[in-house]
Amino acid sequence: MSRIISVEDIDDLARGSAVLGTGGGGDPYIGGLLAKEALRRYGNVTVVSLDELPDDAVVACVSMLGAPTVMVEKLPSLDEIMRPVKELSEHYGRPITHIMCIEVGGVNSTIPVAAAAALNLPLIDGDGMGRAFPELQMVLPTLYGVSASPLSYADEKGNVGVLRTVDNAWGERIIRVAAVEMGCSIMLSGFHMTGATAKKALVKDSLSTCTNIGRTIVEARADKQDAVARVAEMLGGRVLFGGKVVDVERSTSAGFARGRATITEGANSLTVSFQNEHLIAELDGSVLATTPDLIMVLDHESGEPITTERLHYGQRVRVIAAPADERWHSPEAIEMVGPRYFGYDLEPHRFDGQVRPGRSISEVRIAS
């Protein structure tokens, strides 16, 4: 990635982020629109790698929280995007010096670009997950003891809040109900940390990685190559299955988009269960991959990432699995983001680049 992000980078960044967003993180087209608008209005954004980040930098995330199904219908204004950061800077501590992405995703990798442009602040080439997850506390910084608090949030109506909670799980609980009441999608800023902490706690170079993935998809298509296979290769992953989407069950409940998609090819059938993000892939009842590893659904031909809210009957897709950041496999991380946390009676099935079916699960119980 160049040392700046300009309008020309956004499509690749948004596309690649939606791939690593593993079905969640919002629609790349929507997120891209916002980032482009901000870049045109305020100029390019300077990108800082974790290596060159000053230890005394004051880093905070900017992100959208809510159900992606709602995010795509409720595009925030630039004013709304800036408000939580201003609130955080003004009322709780020193001014924010660097913006970071809390996760990788179509919206949550591009909204920070818009925020950085509008606030004239540099953006860190990194993020808090290396993928997307549905709940606030599910970030690597939580494992490093970084508090999400103070956490500021705003909606499009002008309501603004600041929250300090005893732990990040309480932050999730309180901000989630507020978000639901405020219309199922809000802007937030938090996870205030020093540059020194950010260097340890974030995933390095993730915006560059996303931009490369996005560019690779476009180039492969132009070269008549297999875009899906190229993405799998770049991520050290494998194509698990290809077929036609024959069924998508979904509901938006408690501020999340939950559901399951079924993809068939001949007599075989792969199901992908999701809560904002894809969590479990099962082939004919045998588990092939689980959270925290990455499960991605791409268009069979074009290689374009398909977020859960865009999944629909009749699409020809391929499903890729790839290993998550190593740190997601620690026991504390598995407790936070493993299959059991999401209500599946299942050990994590660690993906090692091979396709080895795990045990069959008779019943996949969706947490209510």
Residue numbers of the site for its own copies (CB under 8 A)? 91-92, 157-166, 170, 173-174, 176-178, 180-182
- Of 52, 122, 98, 143, which is closest to residue 325 (Cα–Cα)? 143
Compare residues 109 and 185 and give the one whose CB is closer to its own copies: 185
Match 């659904």 to its residue by tokens. 297
Compare residues 4 and 160 and give the one whose CB is closer to its own copies: 160
Q: Least distance in Å: CB of 92 to its own copies?
A: 8
188: β partners = 63, 153
Q: How far is CA 149 from CA 93, 140, 178, 269, in A?
A: 11, 15, 15, 43
Match 């479990």 to its residue by tokens. 280
Which pair of tokens denotes residue 116?
A: 């950085």
Q: Least distance in Å: CB of 144 to its own copies?
A: 21
Q: Least distance in Å: CB of 67 to its own copies?
A: 16
Its sign, for the CA torsion 120, 124, 127, 132, is: positive
- DSSP character at residue 183: T
Distance of CA 351 to the CA centre of its chain: 19
Compare residues 48 and 85 and give the one whose CB is closer to its own copies: 85
Compare residues 66 and 292 and give the one whose CB is closer to its own copies: 66
Q: Least distance in Å: CB of 133 to its own copies?
A: 20
Q: Least distance in Å: CB of 201 to its own copies?
A: 23
**Angle, helices 78-91/111-119, rounded to nearest 10 degrees:** 70
Compare residues 42 and 170 and give the one whose CB is closer to its own copies: 170
Compare residues 23 and 255 and give the one whose CB is closer to its own copies: 255
Paired sense of beta strands 98-101 and 58-66, if any: parallel
Q: What phi-psi label fits residue 333: left (phi over 0), alpha (psi between -120 and 50 degrees) or beta?
A: alpha
Q: Least distance in Å: CB of 149 to its own copies?
A: 9
Compare residues 165 and 216 and give the one whose CB is closer to its own copies: 165
Paired sense of beta strands 256-265 and 238-253, if any: antiparallel
Compare residues 153 and 351 and give the one whose CB is closer to its own copies: 153
Q: Least distance in Å: CB of 187 to its own copies?
A: 14
Q: How far is CA 2 from CA 44, 79, 200, 208, in A?
A: 11, 27, 23, 8
Compare residues 91 and 359 and give the one whose CB is closer to its own copies: 91
Q: How far is CA 112 from CA 94, 187, 347, 361, in A?
A: 19, 11, 34, 39
Compare residues 190 and 259 and give the one whose CB is closer to its own copies: 190
Q: Least distance in Å: CB of 178 to its own copies?
A: 5
Residue 332's Cβ-side half-sphere holds a number of Cα atoms within 13 Å equal to 10
Q: ∠263-365-241 over CA atoms, to 5°?
A: 20
Q: Least distance in Å: CB of 97 to its own copies?
A: 21
Query: Per-residue b/e over 94-110, b at no fewer than 16 CB within 10 Å?
Result: eebbbbbbbbbbbbbbb
Which residues, at least 6 apart from 148, have a Cβ–Cβ distance to it below 8 Å? 136, 137, 142, 165, 168, 171, 190, 191
Q: Least distance in Å: CB of 176 to its own copies?
A: 8
Which pair of tokens denotes residue 220?
A: 């492969």
